[in-house]
Amino acid sequence: MSVDARIYRIKKTLGGIKNIIGVVSGKGGVGKTTISAVMSLILSVKGYSVGLLDLDFHGPSCHTILGIKDLEYEEEKGINPYRITKNLYFASIYPFVKDEYVPLRGKALSNALIEFLSILNWRKIDYLIVDMPPGMGDILLDIVRLIPNSKFIAVTTNSVLSIQTVGRLIKFIIDSRLELQGIIANMIRNYDTRARRLAEELSVNFLGSVPFDADYENTIGNPQSILGTKLASALKEIVERHIT
């Protein structure tokens, strides 16, 4: 018998969410986790009910940005995402693995994702921001398969290498007939011309640029301080103009 019963519960628990936004990139290190976490903070401060889901199983780190150390889930016919504030919820595999390495691949990675999604009890929230692992691996392919109403935001730096790979990823999203909200150029020092040009070439939205902010690193772990950075200000503008 080849029915995966877990898929039914995934559809049910994610069914009450108005917007599911996957934050993707072609390469690692372009700031997806930062964009995901800070965007979640901004949306929650604006009064929306928000979930942040860290699906980077090989390197979960959203909790570090949010300054969460002793994260423990509450069980209630499944597990409830961790409540950070009254309208911001968070889920990650971090509480299960702590700082151990997570050597998962192929079918095991896919199975872990399906299991995790099927036991999480998301409420009827406005936004679920999903911090995706880099590239076009199993997790992205499964999200596309399991959550066909997902929208995506592609993050890139202005590096030629990052632009090349995110371009491929965007083509995949378009070919999969999924909604790409647009491209965010991150860690921009002077010019964001390559990212803008890529958006033009692929006829997708350029959502805006987030400057390289040397002060950001010192605010990691302190959401209040993060919200005061230049990085957060730039992202707030993008959120107000394109996301809400």
Partner 1 sequence: MVNAMHEWALAESIIMAVIDLAKRENAKEVVEIELLIGGLQTIDLEIFEFALNELKKETIAKNAKIRFVKQKPKFKCNVCGYEWIVDDLNKVLSEEEIESIHFIPELSHVFMKCPKCGSNDFDIVEGRGVLLKGVRIVK
For partner 1, the binding residues (CB under 8 A) are 1, 3-9, 12, 72-79, 93, 96-97, 100-105, 107-109, 111-112, 115-116, 118-119, 121
User: For the purposes of burial, counting CB atoms within 10 Å of the CB of 16, is it exposed (0-12), middle (13-18) or buried (19 or more)?
Assistant: exposed
Distance CA 48, CA 227 (A): 16
Which one, 103 or 217, has the nearer CB to partner 1?
A: 103
For the bound state, the minimum distance from the C-beta of residue 100 to partner 1, rounded and expressed in Å, comes to: 5
Task: Find how far residue 168's CA is from the centre of its chain.
Answer: 18
CB-CB contact of 231 with 214 (8 Å)? no
Which one, 11 or 168, has the nearer CB to partner 1?
A: 11
Distance CA 71, CA 40 (A): 18
For the bound state, the minimum distance from the C-beta of residue 87 to partner 1, rounded and expressed in Å, comes to: 23
DSSP letters for 55-103: --TTS--HHHHHT--S--PEESSSEEPEEEETTEEEE-SHHHHTTS---
Q: How far apart are the first and last CA of the chain?
A: 43
Which one, 115 or 240, has the nearer CB to partner 1?
A: 115
Which residues are registered as beta bridge partners of 21? 129, 151
For the bound state, the minimum distance from the C-beta of residue 106 to partner 1, rounded and expressed in Å, comes to: 9
For the bound state, the minimum distance from the C-beta of residue 222 to partner 1, rounded and expressed in Å, comes to: 27
Which one, 10 or 37, has the nearer CB to partner 1?
A: 10
Which one, 76 or 175, has the nearer CB to partner 1?
A: 76
For the bound state, the minimum distance from the C-beta of residue 109 to partner 1, rounded and expressed in Å, comes to: 7
